[in-house]
Amino acid sequence: MTPTLPALADELVEAVLRNDPFGASQFGLPQYDAFAPDASPAAEAAYRAELTRIGDAAAGILADPADTVLQAAIASTVRAELNTLDVGEVDFTVTALPLSGPPVLFSTAASTVVPDEQSAQAYLARLTASAHWIDTVTDRLRAGAARGLTPVRSLAENALSWADAVLGEPAPAALTAPAAPQGWDGAEAWRAEVHRLAAEVVSPAVRRWRDLVAQELLPVARDDDHAGIGHLPDGEARYLAAIERHTTLPLTPQELHETGLTAVRELEERALVLGARIGLDDLPAIRAAVAAGADPDPEAAMERARVAILRAEARAADVIDPPLPDPCVVSPMPDTVGRSGMAPHYTLPRADGSRPGTYWFNTVVPGMGVGWELEAVAFHEAVPGHHLQLARAQADTSLPRLVTQTLVNAHAEGWGLYTERLAGELGLYSSVQQEIGAVFMEMHRAARLVVDSGVHGLGWSRQKARGYLVDHIPVSRDFLFAEMDRYIAWPGQALAYLVGQQEILRLRDEARATLGEKFTLQGFHSAVLESGSLPLPALQVVVRRWIEGVTAGV
């Protein structure tokens, strides 16, 4: 029987989520909570073969016009997953950030909810399986180093500090953080088993990973002058794969670099116009004021973010057509995540309703989201940004799972950055200072293009990239340095924000010019989001179909 595109899309999303069950759990899908990934070469080869089979089958179908977007989504997802395998980060990435290796498990565990006995048993199974996963990561790092795929020394040293801290606890707190179901008779025995698995199963695997890093990888690790992926074997091809994986476009490092530099200059001009309104007449004065504007009380800053999100939620109907998602909750990050310097971020509601859509605020090591940029970050992560975007799509059961249970970074993060500017157009910012903060947030994303392409594509050192960020972005050095390490550890991901935002703005200009008085902001935004998370070329098709429909009066 010939497979259909919807059937292939379901096969594909199942394969993607099985390959990354931690990501599936973070996406609010409890059916994957009992599992851990498998980083073994055999598992990767099987996954690559499955992706290729699905991609080839989908490409061979002569699609009806109504199915061409789904066909494009299948092709893009297959290509993105294959690109991820080709980049091969598991073979050389060592970091304290929850991007690779044990920190991913700890971050996932810290945000795990256990509403019932089934979830409790799933968590025990995950802890048990995670030891094998960590060991496969350790084996991959050892084999990678033998092929010249080595980590960055400074990032590996940070990872060792992280590991020593968590291994200093009898049972790491992040792993024992999930609370047992309320009123459950088996709660005490379950907690004891969680502590046993954390101490006797997971921690020894973390120690094996830690010892490999300290004893075998540090002596051969790359210095800061060679921090980019371009310095690895096949580095140029790896970076091009990372670029396409995160932007869905065949861009070059030089193109991205120039785009970033141009955007930074344009945003500096906007900052000067706004600064003049409050008596700040040059960029050094504006940057100094922004840098000094952080709220010293992170709890108070979190409350201000909550108020800003409530204000945005009251205007949600002006942004997009119904249905609207449930309100977004604002919550402090778990301590173990906050200590890593993680920026404020959003997680989807769990599909079973046990956790709402949440904006996680860092009250432990506050770096971003506590100063003049406070409202821009809140709008990006919550409303009208990711919560409005992702929770709304999650609730739409008519959409294929492929476009609601996986993320295309350029679409998702492009929308988030777009909404920071949209918030200004809607008058959501409470002061000129917050508007200026939004400009510098956008400038930060433009600077990401400069430093990501600089480090990974043009041979910049870690210090040169840090210096560029410090010179242009008025946020604490500690935060910027942690951000730069994230870009080093995750090549290409930082490109998605500005590339996606610029495409959405371009499509909006095209729609407004074509439709004239028929153009509505709500209609355009619905077109951008109503088909789920899409590669940018497919998004263009969807928006142009909407334009054609409005023009025809459909």
The predicted structure's pLDDT at residue 376? 98
Amino acid occupying residue 241: A
State phi, psi for 346 to the nearest 5 degrees: -115, 145
Torsion of CA 364, 366, 369, 374, to 10 degrees: 90
Tell me if 453 sits within 8 A of 256, measured CB to CB: yes
Tell me if 357 sits within 8 A of 346, measured CB to CB: yes
The predicted structure's pLDDT at residue 288? 97
The predicted structure's pLDDT at residue 91? 99
Q: How far apart are CA 64 and CA 29, in angstroms?
A: 31
Q: How far apart are CA 503 and CA 542, in angstroms?
A: 13
**From residue 325, how far is each of 26, 236, 316 by CA, in Å?**
18, 42, 10
Q: How many residues does the chain have?
A: 554
**Structure-token pair, residue 416:** 């988030």
Concatenated DSSP letters of 1-27: -PPPHHHHHHHHHHHHHHH-HHHHHHT
Q: How far apart are CA 472 and CA 110, in angstroms?
A: 34
pLDDT by 10s per residue, the chain, length 554: 789 999 999 999 999 999 999 999 988 899 999 999 999 999 999 999 999 999 999 999 999 988 999 999 999 999 999 999 999 999 999 999 999 999 999 999 988 999 999 999 999 999 999 999 999 999 999 999 999 999 999 999 999 999 999 999 999 999 999 999 999 999 999 999 999 999 999 999 999 999 999 999 999 999 999 999 999 999 999 999 999 999 999 999 999 999 999 999 999 999 999 999 999 999 999 999 999 999 999 999 999 999 999 999 999 999 999 999 999 999 999 887 788 777 899 999 987 888 899 999 999 988 788 999 999 999 999 999 999 999 999 999 999 999 999 999 999 999 999 999 999 999 999 999 999 999 999 999 999 999 999 999 999 999 999 999 999 999 889 889 989 999 999 999 999 999 999 999 999 999 999 999 999 999 999 999 999 999 999 999 999 999 999 999 86
Alpha-carbon dihedral sign for residues 442, 447, 452, 453: positive
Could you tell me the strand order of the sheet in which 345-347 lies? 329-332, 358-361, 345-347
The predicted structure's pLDDT at residue 291? 94
Tell me whether residue 471 is exposed, middle or buried, using C-beta atoms within 10 angstroms of its C-beta: 0 to 12, 13 to 18, 19 or more. Answer: exposed
The predicted structure's pLDDT at residue 554? 67
